[in-house]
Structure 1
Amino acid sequence: MNFNNAQQRVKDLKSFYKNCMWFGIVALIIFFRRFMKSGDLSQSIFSGSIILTVWGIILAVKAVKLFVLNAEWENKVLEEELSKTKKPINF
């Protein structure tokens, strides 16, 4: 991994962790607000929020991209594909 790729990965990780932090803060605010309105903790935790659901799905996709489908995986798959297509040419 060269310097530019490493620098981009660090930026992506920083962005992902910031998004996770904001997700947690917003989720706490939403759940606290619901708890104050209803007074029932089980109802406020288990009643879903469409914003948190969509945001959670986006964070999950970003996590898969960052931690599963990273540059090492991409290079490994690229090398496998290149080794498959290396066939001698017979004239």
Structure 2
Amino acid sequence: MNYNSAQKRVKELKSFYKNCMWFGIVALFIFFRRLMKSGDLSQSIFNGSIILTVWGIILAVKAVKLFVFDAEWENEIIEEELKKTKKPINF
């Protein structure tokens, strides 16, 4: 991995961790706000928030992109495709 791609990956990781931190803060805020309004803990836990659901899906997609389909995976797939030999079709 060269310096530029490593620097890009570090920026992406930093952005992802910041988003996770903000997600946690907002989730706690929404949870405690609902807890204070309803007073019932079981009611607050199982009431979903559409904002948190969408935000969680976006974070999950970013996590898969960062940790599963990273630059190393992409390079491996490119190398595998280059190694394949294509034989011409004889008519």
Q: TM-score, normalised by structure 2?
A: 0.92
1:17: which partner in 2? 17
Counterpart-to-counterpart distance in 2, 1:87 and 1:16: 44
The reply on whether 1:48 has 2:48 as its aligned counterpart is yes
* Structure 1 consecutive aligned stretches of length 4 or more whose deviation exceeds 2 Å: 85-88
2:32: which partner in 1? 32
Counterpart-to-counterpart distance in 1, 2:4 and 2:46: 43
Q: Partner amino acid for 2:82?
A: L
Aligned length: 88
Gap regions ≥5 residues in structure 2: none
Counterpart-to-counterpart distance in 1, 2:63 and 2:69: 9
Root-mean-square deviation over aligned CA pairs: 1.3
The reply on whether 1:64 has 2:64 as its aligned counterpart is yes
2:5: which partner in 1? 5
